[in-house]
Amino acid sequence: MITAIARAKINLFLHVTGKQPDGYHLLESLVVFPDGGDEITVSKSKDLSLEVIGPFSHAIGSTDENLILKAAQLLKSESGTDQGAHITLVKNLPVAAGIGGGSSDAAITLKTLNGLWGIDFSDDKLSQLGLTLGADVPACLYGKPAIMSGIGEQLAKIDHFPEFDILLVNSGLMVSTRDVFSRLEISRQPSSDFCFEDMTRNELFSALATMRNDLEEPACQIAPVVKSTLSAIRGQKECRLARMSGSGATCFGLFETERAAQMAKNAIQSHHPDWWVQTMAVGL
């Protein structure tokens, strides 16, 4: 039996730089993976099966269409193994929330089954398989700070990255990625020319303040609660930056200390007890 955490994927900035003829958008994004997420346990079994539990299990549709099972079936087919597995997903992250939950679940499924079944595929091979499941699955397989580009499959790894605390807030409203992109007007502003390697925490926060998430405005048009969420985060003491992640509706706030992030969490929860509010650490 193997258990691993499928960490949330947070876009600290997300610039949409163009659109390919096939409809895929080109982007540049700094992604980080805080120390919290879904939990996946795999154990040997005759057949492939998936059990979903946890606070957001009710939001998962048909398990037959789940990326976890698709990842497992893909790995089984590519490796030629006749082994099965029982997979348990503890769904701790909100669904359709802009924090890469499904892609991260698929990535960790590939990793854990690769070990459970003794397949021993390389990281590069797993990334190639992951890309067929979703453009950001390779980044989730890597699971460390990186700049994503292309359609999300190109990674520039950042070896030395500062530690900080992050507050994640989701109102409970699911936002369709397709709908958000359909309202996007590509600005074609120059992409980032910052080098994030060896930045201090203050240098990072200052650089991020000059950037943006190009999907934030169209998401706010579809779901005005995103704007309310951002206002709630920005109103907290010691919040250095508030922004939406991915295509929403999860928003985040950056803090220098765990204490400041926890105080912000308590304040927001007191006013919005039905919102999902979590503090996590980045860089650990």
Provide the token pair at 136: 């950001």
Give burial (CB, 10 Å; 0-12/13-18/19+) of 49.
Answer: middle
- What is residue 194's predicted lDDT score, i.e. its pLDDT? 82
With contact defined as beta carbons under 8 Å apart, do 238 and 257 qualify? yes
Question: How far is it, in rounded angstroms, from Cα 215 to Cα 268?
Answer: 24
Q: What is the DSSP string of 188-232?
A: -PPPP----TT--HHHHHHHHTT--BTTHHHHHHH-THHHHHHHH
Thinking of the domain 164-282, which architecture would CATH place it in? 2-Layer Sandwich (3.30)
Which positions make up the binding site for ATP?
Answer: 94-104
- What is residue 189's predicted lDDT score, i.e. its pLDDT? 66
DSSP conformation class of 170: E
- What is residue 83's predicted lDDT score, i.e. its pLDDT? 97
Domain boundaries, the chain: 2-157, 164-282
Q: Mind telling me the catalytic residues?
A: 9, 136
With contact defined as beta carbons under 8 Å apart, do 262 and 275 qualify? no
Closest C-alpha to 10, from 90, 93, 69, 68? 93
> What contacts 201, CB < 8 A, 6 or more positions away?
162, 163, 164, 256
Could you check whether the bond before residue 85 is cis, i.e. omega within 30 degrees of 0?
no
Residue 272 φ/ψ region, left for φ over 0, alpha for ψ in the -120 to 50 degree band, beta for the rest: beta
Question: How far is it, in rounded angstroms, from Cα 93 to Cα 35?
Answer: 12
Provide the token pair at 273: 């007890």
Q: Does CATH place domain 2-157 in 3.40.50.2300?
A: no
Which positions make up the binding site?
Answer: 94-104
253-258: long-range contacts, CB 8 A cutoff, minimum separation 24 = 253/166, 253/167, 253/169, 254/12, 254/164, 254/165, 254/166, 254/167, 254/205, 254/208, 255/164, 255/165, 255/166, 255/167, 256/164, 256/165, 256/201, 257/165, 258/165
Provide the token pair at 176: 């369709």
pLDDT, one tens digit for every residue, the chain (284 residues):
999 999 999 999 999 999 999 888 999 999 999 999 999 999 999 999 999 999 999 988 766 668 999 999 999 999 999 999 999 999 999 999 999 999 999 999 999 999 999 999 999 999 999 999 999 999 999 999 999 999 999 999 999 999 999 999 999 999 998 999 999 988 766 566 788 999 999 999 999 999 999 999 999 999 999 999 999 999 999 999 999 999 999 999 999 999 999 999 999 999 999 999 999 999 86
- What is residue 61's predicted lDDT score, i.e. its pLDDT? 73
